[in-house]
Chain A
């Protein structure tokens, strides 16, 4: 029993941090927020999948991917393709010159459904594709790079270029992908209206449970010998190699896992937001995912979720009132997080948290602590 418990939550503090996060997203948000805002939080939480993946890959593995948008996008597009095909039934598209294919294909004079779209008629195949396609794609990239001992800055650049290629390809092949507008007008899932409030609420909870499950799975990886090897590789790769480990295989695995969970986030994004477009694939979203993880604390799984929420709340608040200031602030955050608080919120709480609680007494304890304790706990858990 205690074995399972340690594997999944780290230690007692890890469990508390996890429970606080679960309570926040499963109880506090749904009670406090209206349906529109809750859906917005749900959207932010889909980015948290990618942020958590970067904690594993970058924080622990030392490998920075500037291409998590690729996998988020593949997951999102796979789901969008399924929903689009359902929305494009011959009855719904009777006015098109070729009924039964997505509207944007018809606009681009395409008369037959392209082969790679056909599997997305099936919901089962779509779910499999969401998990398998990004994993295979990551395996190919990872095997090519890590087996040749390419890493660091070089890996970051190559993943960034691949995300650029994918974006340009999607935008350029309008007839096959919906182009710059993406895949829109998604309404039903197996006949069930996904734009209704009840559906959105349900997706929100499914999203939360998946995210919590991903955190538990990641915690399992980090508390196993694999997790300690990741840290060891980050600091002394040669020593690990000369202890008889094939370092590349470990990196490939964690890259594939990171790709898979990012794709789950992407699929949940499409379900909750109702469309998918190339603007969630390219350079900018990919690097923003990195800053979510960095702000939360690159070594903290739970911190990554708070980091994602915080930045996106900020972005929404600012772009409504001072859109100009937001980019300055965002740029400043990138600089500040690497120069002044490399361990993010989790590290800040670790260093200064007890001062704050002392100075401001119980009021602050009530508000801030619920979020920040989780971070510090997480960090401690990771160091042990």
Chain B
């Protein structure tokens, strides 16, 4: 970092830090969904990235329809598309659970392969429907541009909006899982499935809605994703490995851990990118994570459980 003054370094860190916030938001939303599903049923959802892509394509679709038929609605459509992304991805998740996942509980390695198969099918579906080229929704004007905080630091508005969305979702998930009666039932099922069933909790229903919820949040991540990059059929695959690392590194059961881990991974990636090439930043980040996980396989924030 030889050639930079302290002021410049500060500005670089701040700028890359704000750029990293968008990545952080997408990773966190993806990881929340993945962690909920993994924590609840021990299923690794390899198709999680494709559910994100489902949300992104939904946003694109609504944007195109709005632009064609009700252009006056353009400034507001994005808010609705977030909800639609959640619903579309959630519904797909619900169906996937019903058709596929529920037959494979207690066979985690098999679900891993089956959901990989699902991801291939979803990718090819996107390619057949939307074409192989990447697409982007037309973003409303208020999402574009940046707010100049100092003469060296610009704060991108889309990043702030996505961050707000992420904070809102995280709080909602927290409330749902830890304060609502539904969350209580989910946690009861996670801890002792047989007992939960015996006291009258419909564990199958809980599983299905949990899976749908996880996928729905991935859909919201997809809507957020459209503000930072364009969407292609294989977009999901690019994020799935990073998301796994966020979940594993954070310790699958800890909400705080997931947030902290998404933040550190996104920021490390983003800030390193400025100094070394993007690919080497990724190598460096992932390699550091793998080495840490080799010494501390339970993740950084795993809770202690009596076994």
Q: Chain A interface (Cβ within 8 Å of chain B)?
A: 58, 64, 141, 144-145, 148, 150, 152-154, 156-158, 160-162, 164-165, 168-169, 171-172, 283, 287, 290-291, 294, 324, 327-328, 330-335, 337-339, 342
Does B179 reach chain A (CB closer than 8 Å)?
no
Does B167 reach chain A (CB closer than 8 Å)?
no
Known: A327-B124, A330-B117. A165 touches B112 (CB 8 A): no
Within the complex, which residue of A152, A169, A324 is in contact with B108, where a contact is CB–CB below 8 Å? A152
Within the complex, which residue of A141, A158, A164, A335 is in contact with B117, where a contact is CB–CB below 8 Å? A335
Bound together, the chains give a CA A338 to CA B128 distance in angstroms of 26
Bound together, the chains give a CA A294 to CA B113 distance in angstroms of 10
Number of interface residues of B (CB under 8 A): 41
Bound together, the chains give a CA A328 to CA B201 distance in angstroms of 37
Specify the chain A residue showing the minimal Cβ separation from B44.
Answer: A153
**Are A327 and B103 in contact, with the CB atoms below 8 A?**
no
Identify the stretch in B25-33, B144-152, B240-248 within 8 Å (CB) of chain A at 4 or more residues. B240-248
Does B119 reach chain A (CB closer than 8 Å)?
yes
**Are B286 and A164 in contact, with the CB atoms below 8 A?**
yes
Q: Which A residues are in CB contact (< 8 Å) with B118?
A: 331, 334-335
CB proximity of A288 to chain B, nearest CB, Å: 10
**Are A172 and B279 in contact, with the CB atoms below 8 A?**
yes
Q: Which B residues are in CB contact (< 8 Å) with A332?
A: 117, 121
Q: Which B residues are in CB contact (< 8 Å) with A153?
A: 42, 44, 108-109, 112
Bound together, the chains give a CA A165 to CA B242 distance in angstroms of 11
Specify the chain A residue showing the minimal Cβ separation from B296.
Answer: A148
Bound together, the chains give a CA A169 to CA B295 distance in angstroms of 23
Cross-chain pair count, CB within 8 angstroms:
107
12 pairs, CB–CB < 8 Å, chain A vs chain B: A58-B109, A141-B294, A148-B294, A160-B244, A168-B286, A172-B283, A331-B118, A331-B120, A331-B121, A338-B107, A339-B104, A339-B114
Specify the chain A residue showing the minimal Cβ separation from B286.
Answer: A165
Does B297 reach chain A (CB closer than 8 Å)?
yes
Bound together, the chains give a CA A194 to CA B151 distance in angstroms of 62
**Are B123 and A162 in contact, with the CB atoms below 8 A?**
no
**Are B241 and A338 in contact, with the CB atoms below 8 A?**
no
Q: Which A residues are in CB contact (< 8 Å) with B123?
A: 327
Does B290 reach chain A (CB closer than 8 Å)?
yes
Known: A158-B290, A165-B287. A64 touches B112 (CB 8 A): yes
> In chain B between 261 and 307, which residues have their CB closer than 8 angstroms to a CB of chain A?
277, 279-280, 282-283, 286-287, 289-290, 293-295, 297
The 3 residue pairs across chains A and B that have the minimum distance between CB atoms:
A334-B117, A172-B279, A331-B120
Q: Chain B interface (Cβ within 8 Å of chain A)?
A: 42, 44, 100, 103-104, 107-114, 116-121, 123-124, 127-128, 237, 241, 244-245, 248, 277, 279-280, 282-283, 286-287, 289-290, 293-295, 297
**Are B277 and A172 in contact, with the CB atoms below 8 A?**
yes
**Are A165 and B113 in contact, with the CB atoms below 8 A?**
no
Q: Which A residues are in CB contact (< 8 Å) with B110?
A: 338, 342
Q: Which B residues are in CB contact (< 8 Å) with A168?
A: 279, 282-283, 286
Specify the chain B residue showing the minimal Cβ separation from A164.
Answer: B241
**Are A324 and B124 in contact, with the CB atoms below 8 A?**
yes
Specify the chain B residue showing the minimal Cβ separation from A144.
Answer: B294
CB proximity of A185 to chain B, nearest CB, Å: 24
Q: Which B residues are in CB contact (< 8 Å) with A161?
A: 241, 244-245, 286, 289-290
**Are A331 and B124 in contact, with the CB atoms below 8 A?**
yes
CB proximity of A175 to chain B, nearest CB, Å: 12
**Are A154 and B248 in contact, with the CB atoms below 8 A?**
yes
**Are A334 and B290 in contact, with the CB atoms below 8 A?**
no
**Are B121 and A328 in contact, with the CB atoms below 8 A?**
yes
Bound together, the chains give a CA A317 to CA B165 distance in angstroms of 47
Additional A-B contacts beyond A150-B297, A164-B286, A338-B113 (14; CB < 8 A): A144-B295, A148-B294, A153-B109, A156-B44, A157-B44, A161-B245, A168-B282, A172-B280, A172-B283, A287-B113, A294-B113, A327-B123, A334-B114, A338-B110
CB proximity of A149 to chain B, nearest CB, Å: 8
Q: Which A residues are in CB contact (< 8 Å) with B113?
A: 287, 290-291, 294, 334, 337-338
Q: Which A residues are in CB contact (< 8 Å) with B107?
A: 338
CB proximity of A188 to chain B, nearest CB, Å: 32
